[in-house]
Homo-oligomer: A and B are copies of this chain.
């Protein structure tokens, strides 16, 4: 069957519209949101809630088999992601209050990082962190803080 140029145009328009919609949707899916499950390069797992409208989230940090660190219990985290869904590599920050077996010491870690999407669509979180172990007095304060990096990949 022959189609009129108008019909062809209509079909081309529909295709263009579909592509445009796909283009709108696909990047949105790639927007590097923290919600979900992640594994750190030290073998720990992290579960992050759905983000609220203003980018806040809560979640848990869990010891992983790779750590061999049976001292850590499941620990709560809270944070937020900036410009989530608006920029390709949104920054984020979250705080973990460590729950430790057989220890009353207060330990807190502040993570500050950015979510990157690779060319294959894989999301990676790059973060630096500070870990403070409560000091007993101001003279002990100088040695209270550790520093390091963590890289997280999504658990599918």
The residues of A with any CB-CB pair to B shorter than 8 Å are 42, 66-68, 78-80, 82-83, 87, 89, 91, 93, 95, 97, 106, 108-114, 116, 118, 124, 126, 128-132, 134-139, 141-150
Contact = CB atoms under 8 A, between A and B. Distances in A.
A149 B134 CA distance: 16
A108 B113 CA distance: 9
Nearest to A141: B126
The 5 lowest CB-CB distance pairs between A and B, nearest first, are A110-B110, A147-B147, A149-B149, A110-B112, A116-B138
A33 to B, nearest CB: 16
Question: How many chain copies does the complex carry?
Answer: 4
A114 B108 CA distance: 11
Contact of A89 (B95, B137, B143): B137
